Structure 1
């Protein structure tokens, strides 16, 4: 009997992006999980992307922080919590409440977020609590509040399927929100007359389903939407329910659309779609938000929808999609330094008094706290003397990451709550607190369409790990507030939060889930996904369709947006570096990096650069580029492609000191922020680029973890161990000794060396099993990485040193479909040999592209390239 199959599946929610997919997780009884999409969850209806599907491969205790640590020594929970409470209390007593700060995360559950904000804003008495969500959606918050009077997403996911035109701007939906992309792709397939427009300087995978791609000049988004506004058909809705139209139109009429760099033919097509289609949804994400004028870009989009009345009705409206699983929940509990819980305003005395009275708070914060960039500046100059970082890695992901790391290292007292002790940030802590992770936590999250879902505990906590809300509450009790933080479980926290939302609802807040104020543990356990609001006043649905907004006069506000284009790059730093995510990884890979198949698509940090730039700089494909500016330096693998614009290369954000020290690209990003939202400009760093003069390149695998000491390295998990790409400017004196030290091997390896070509290959075997292998060359190493890596998990093949499989073992090539492990060579053989000339045919024969669909754009590109080659022959 299959024990796992006899266990009931548990309904929970994915740990990754803001889509908020439902997951069916089945514990196997041995610490593992079987994962499937939940067909009943209204966010995904059973679909999962490859990251979500691989969640079961990321649980376990390997590498986990299993007990508290003080100054790198294991401690008891009482010792650690007593010290945290003592140091924070002493710092506040000596220097005031603004001398401490919390930096938290959109990956925390709502209950965790609520407790952190209650402690900081209501009891410590400072608003110095901010979140890594500041880096991804603060400009959307600011835009919503300026236009609607509240931070409210008007529409629902189903609007993507009901619309007749969908505009995607600053959003690579195919890679960053794959399940929403698949919903949209399915709607397009069912109704081919639906128009899809992608506005993005890059030609991303999302363009695969687009009828129109507008590769606008980076930073010119507000120019484009102001131009669109100036030619928009005005709606009676606008005259009745919107203020500021005349000023907004006057500003819109002043733009020069040529600044977008777009061909007038493309502009006319875009305008025709906008003018002739009533049901339009505009989806926007980080490409809009992550700018020093992101708030204005958001309002330029909102202006267009308000002027035409395309808001709050089926199939129409602006739609902000969030990057983190609970970025929305953080916004709802007031997780940003300038907000109160339940969409109340920190600077409104009536709102402050209501929250203070509800909490019976002794020291309510009265003014906004420090936003993320300013918070770490305050750490740097000593204004913040005690810092608590929870569930995030600012030493990697903050702008000026090297400067931030130095600031944390110099802080008087740093607490880090995390699952791992080895993150770049955790290594800087005085006190490390082991936190539960996905699968061990119990609480709620809110997705991008305002749907609250449960994350349920599936596995016991690893070691002594505790939930974040519990850790925060235990410290609060020790600081003298036992009555206010005496919950026994997350259901009680949620119930209190729901009750506070009723108070907010009485004050006119749109966020009101007071229908759940009396929830008990059984009701909480059975809680089904629901859209807020949920109260006696209102149940779910869309917002603003009837023209009622949360402003003093009840009208929406259009803003006169004055576009600010990026400053020209200085001669010494002639490139503008765009940063972002890749398909199969998440943030700094502390979780996704544990799943071997998620590293097979793109396994190392890279620089995507236009062919013209590559030729001018002397950068050959697969070589290394050195990227530098006054803030920092990175070394990245060169990927030459015309998907990016000349002068505007792209690099992913995921690599860290643990996985690729020279790939920490946020070290290059300056601390330039939007003056309204405080969101950093993460997509326009001015940099210089030059070839990195590597004397050698190498690829290595080993059954044990290993870390080289060389200029460039990037590692990834394999089924039987680790792989690492390496390069250096200095040649080791003795490669055998270097390899023995690298792999911790004392025996002599088998060595094959070609002095004429400058190549060396060596392997360490033990009882016929591969322990480690190293392949060295004076240029990027060419071999079948999948073949070499496979030797770690099975018998060592005779062709291992050749680096290629034998003739009876075709090389599958680089991974394309991570869901089913299908490589590019397998797909190309299917196209050429089996005539698989559609994505559907490839899926039927090879399974590639038949699950999450994220690789379908790559499959179409391979089919197209083959067709072009055949036509040219």
Structure 2
């Protein structure tokens, strides 16, 4: 936006933009004076609701750790260092290196790896440059890791990558089936829409299909904890059940589909009888029958599926098994019914629209279709269009590893953390001749391996569009100036294109011009055979683009969006019919063994996002689950010789990690769960991607993040502790550590090995303090191994360090609060040395409600003292649960625990 526009917005007290996190695509309002964020009541996705991550966006806008100018890695005789350089030099170097590599080794020797964090305009320019002007399809996206199985399933069934429904369908349905989705934590605003509808209309039924009993089960009428990987047998069994119990919509099948008999034959062959199916799915027979009866008897059914379905070696087949059941009953394209794919990232859908995957072209055109390739080439007036699909994400980095790809540009993603077999990815980048990384953060696991770093724009500085899971295109608007020399990703790409001799093709003045080209391509020679059509958004002026309100595609004419697709029973296939896809179960590529007896499952937690480059700096988001953890069944903890709260090493054939042992009660025997977020910037050894097996779905190329055989062993440490520090610390003395951002200070949990002889010198070394630095106090008890120390400057607490048994370590919330004070009293100092406050201080306990900073102890005390009976009572008393609602499942659990204690004799 222009300076005048920003001033106008500031005067009005807010700006409408979109949240940069999950695929719900919530609208937010930014107070540009205070840099605070609230939900946009006018946005169709959220109607004013906002989860805790979105609410805490203001905490992520600081410049600490930002990459603010282009840098080149310079290797000298000592450690490697970075050298700043001008943008012109950086862009010319990229153009020269890419051109030289192509001249010597051909266009298949260069590649881009991009991200669902990019805006649609960035994505479009990247694809145009690689596929139309470099002549290669070597561009893939981290969205390959979360939704490409859904893309492949949609194309097999519908002929085009199309999500038929909209969020309103969850409120119109009579049965909502959530498959492989911890919606309460991963898509919390959509989950709260379902919760609100269920409270309004208790007859709405919710079924959760997930191996874990996640917080999403809080509203479930039925939970099916199926065995990992048994989705195809489950939905094949459902299809067979629907056929034998008269639930088919035969008119719809006859008029609008094909290959139903083949799909039924495959289902009948693999589903078996109900008892055998229950065994293969790891379910009780009566629960299975209840689900089948519910689905058969309910007309308005929506089936939401997400990463638990997609991230599989058979993800595409799982998607089609679900779609088959909806096609068979005709429950698609009508209010309150249909299969629904929830994307993980804010613009995964936008990337799909512009050909962000290596096997697609822009505007939902097919790279493998000569006629459609020629169409794109005519529109772009490009010298060529890539003729063969490029390697998908995992294979792309394998091509880097073996030297086929020699120059790689990575944008807005951190593959050294997020990809499977991540240590091999790290080694691939070490081997690569030339690696460019565009990012907002100066030091990520991936950026450390780059030859050239480019400073990109972050949320709040970007200007463009994103598309959410229900096909709504929304504007993401800049509300502050770019810091330092940060520039848009589309601009850097276009400048490289110009330097490669394609000035006219990449002569963009701004994102509006790029979006207009994208919209015109969607309508170009589109006689209705392609559903994706933005004709009504072509030709907008700068001011119209700037004022664009959320609209759901297709947009065939100005101001005319769409709701549901396929309501007329027509599909974008050659004969206009949807296709049933016969599917049969496939055994995991790597079964369990005596050496690796557990199944590793990975996924997100409530308050963090991806690899924490944004959420990791927000104190509000660090307190709920502050450490990497491995979640196991309590019986497995005992069998492995572990203890809850201790440390465990998790090992697969591909790598290892160390994490805190947790028993949430969510896990089945023989299964473990580890979150995806932690990396080398936030923990010593917690990159779960290093463990994940590199098996991919043969159709979609999406990796198997839900089934890796592992073993779990105790991680032995001789001492442990906690450290708070305002400045940098030396982490080398620790055998294990994890870092979390607290207000004004960094918190470190740590463990170590070996004897600590001179603890005072050791502590000063950890804190990087000289022997005479500032005000230093300490306490030691060598007999019990306890050591406490604190450092002050001008009366203000700078750091404190504790080594003690776990049950004698101080309350974390109390320590963090001391750092907010300008000066500490003598009483506070004595408490610091003692490791506990002197006098009564309320310890709120582990954080439950991040929005209002309410801890477990506070909630339990209020429940007991005020006789609270419901989550609404807790909210009325403490506000907890009154904003995003993500903590309500945990609050219900605390209510149940207190009721059990009260009822005990």
- Length-normalised TM-score, structure 1: 0.98
Q: Secondary structure at the match of 1:644?
A: coil
The partner residue of 2:22 within 17, 22, 36 is: 17
Q: Secondary structure at the match of 1:598?
A: helix
- Which deviates further from its counterpart, 305-314 or 704-713? 704-713
Q: Secondary structure at the match of 1:70?
A: strand
Distance 1:565 1:166 in 2: 28
Are residues 1:189 and 2:199 paired? yes
Distance 2:805 2:494 in 1: 57
Distance 1:340 1:530 in 2: 23
Distance 2:189 2:834 in 1: 41
Distance 1:508 1:483 in 2: 30
Alignment CA distance shift 1:300-1:504 (3 Å):
farther
Q: Structure 2 stretches of 5 or more lacking a match?
A: 1-7, 74-81
Q: Counterpart in 2 of 1:56?
A: 58
List per-residue Cα deviations over 1:132-169 (Å, max 9, x = no partner).
00000010000000000000000000000000000000
Q: Secondary structure at the match of 2:750?
A: strand
Distance 2:234 2:120 in 1: 37
Q: What is the 5 A alignment of 1:303-702?
A: 303-503=324-524, 505-506=526-527, 508-536=529-557, 539-566=561-588, 567-702=590-725
Are residues 1:833 and 2:865 paired? yes
8 Å Cα contact 1:785/1:803 also seen in 2: no
Shift of 1:728: 1.8
- Which deviates further from its counterpart, 80-89 or 834-843? 834-843
Q: Counterpart in 1 of 2:783?
A: 756
Q: Secondary structure at the match of 2:122?
A: helix
8 Å Cα contact 2:777/2:833 also seen in 1: no
Distance 1:460 1:317 in 2: 43
Distance 2:483 2:759 in 1: 40
Are residues 1:245 and 2:266 paired? no
8 Å Cα contact 1:285/1:322 also seen in 2: yes
8 Å Cα contact 1:35/1:53 also seen in 2: yes
Alignment CA distance shift 1:326-1:731 (3 Å):
farther
Shift of 1:539: 3.7
Shift of 1:852: 0.2
Alignment CA distance shift 1:293-1:718 (3 Å):
same
Shift of 1:834: 1.2
8 Å Cα contact 1:805/1:811 also seen in 2: no
Q: What is the 5 A alignment of 1:254-269?
A: 254=269, 255-256=271-272, 257=277, 258-269=279-290
List per-residue Cα deviations over 1:681-701 (Å, max 9, x = no partner).
011111111000111111100
Distance 2:311 2:800 in 1: 42
Shift of 1:565: 3.4
Distance 1:792 1:861 in 2: 32
Are residues 1:715 and 2:739 paired? yes
Q: Secondary structure at the match of 1:801?
A: helix
Q: Secondary structure at the match of 1:314?
A: coil
- Which deviates further from its counterpart, 620-629 or 759-768? 759-768
Q: What is the 5 A alignment of 1:226-241?
A: 226-232=236-242, 233-235=247-249, 236-241=251-256
Q: Secondary structure at the match of 1:358?
A: helix
- Which deviates further from its counterpart, 435-444 or 516-525? 516-525
Q: Secondary structure at the match of 1:282?
A: strand
Shift of 1:749: 3.2
Shift of 1:19: 0.3
8 Å Cα contact 1:633/1:668 also seen in 2: yes
Shift of 1:7: 4.6
Distance 1:780 1:146 in 2: 56
Distance 1:791 1:339 in 2: 55
Q: Secondary structure at the match of 1:661?
A: coil
- Which deviates further from its counterpart, 555-564 or 772-781? 772-781
Alignment CA distance shift 1:789-1:800 (3 Å):
same
Shift of 1:779: 4.5
Q: Counterpart in 1 of 2:4?
A: none
Are residues 1:872 and 2:904 paired? yes
List per-residue Cα deviations over 1:563-588 (Å, max 9, x = no partner).
12335302111111100000000001
Q: What is the 5 A alignment of 1:774-813?
A: 774-779=801-806, 782-794=809-821, 795-796=823-824, 797-798=828-829, 799-813=831-845
Are residues 1:140 and 2:150 paired? yes
8 Å Cα contact 2:301/2:337 also seen in 1: yes
- Which deviates further from its counterpart, 751-760 or 397-406? 751-760
List per-residue Cα deviations over 1:527-582 (Å, max 9, x = no partner).
00000001149741211122111111111111111012335302111111100000
8 Å Cα contact 2:722/2:809 also seen in 1: no
The partner residue of 2:84 within 56, 74, 86 is: 74
Q: Counterpart in 1 of 2:305?
A: 284
Distance 1:188 1:705 in 2: 49
Distance 1:4 1:351 in 2: 43
Shift of 1:4: 11
Distance 1:172 1:742 in 2: 39
List per-residue Cα deviations over 1:381-440 (Å, max 9, x = no partner).
000000000000001111011110111111000000000110000111111000001000
Q: Secondary structure at the match of 2:671?
A: coil
8 Å Cα contact 2:803/2:809 also seen in 1: no
Q: Counterpart in 1 of 2:35?
A: 33
Alignment CA distance shift 1:804-1:545 (3 Å):
farther
Shift of 1:780: 6.6
Q: Secondary structure at the match of 1:231?
A: helix
Q: Structure 1 stretches of 5 or more lacking a match?
A: none
Q: Secondary structure at the match of 1:841?
A: helix
8 Å Cα contact 2:730/2:768 also seen in 1: no
Q: Secondary structure at the match of 2:485?
A: coil
8 Å Cα contact 1:60/1:462 also seen in 2: no
Q: Counterpart in 1 of 2:322?
A: 301
Shift of 1:516: 1.4
Are residues 1:216 and 2:232 paired? no
Q: Tell me the number of residue pairs that the alignment of Structure 1 and Structure 2 aligns.
A: 868
Distance 1:636 1:504 in 2: 55
Alignment CA distance shift 1:4-1:406 (3 Å):
same
Shift of 1:759: 1.5
Shift of 1:291: 0.4
Shift of 1:203: 0.4
Distance 1:293 1:734 in 2: 56
Alignment CA distance shift 1:504-1:863 (3 Å):
farther
Q: Counterpart in 2 of 1:95?
A: 105
Alignment CA distance shift 1:516-1:6 (3 Å):
closer
Distance 1:60 1:464 in 2: 15
8 Å Cα contact 1:655/1:661 also seen in 2: no
Are residues 1:843 and 2:880 paired? no
Alignment CA distance shift 1:4-1:739 (3 Å):
farther
List per-residue Cα deviations over 1:760-806 (Å, max 9, x = no partner).
11111223211111111244763210001111111432422333344
Alignment CA distance shift 1:110-1:824 (3 Å):
same
Q: Secondary structure at the match of 1:67?
A: coil
Q: Counterpart in 2 of 1:84?
A: 94
Alignment CA distance shift 1:25-1:94 (3 Å):
same
List per-residue Cα deviations over 1:711-754 (Å, max 9, x = no partner).
21110111111000111233444322222122122237322222
Are residues 1:272 and 2:255 paired? no
Q: Secondary structure at the match of 1:649?
A: strand
Shift of 1:231: 1.1
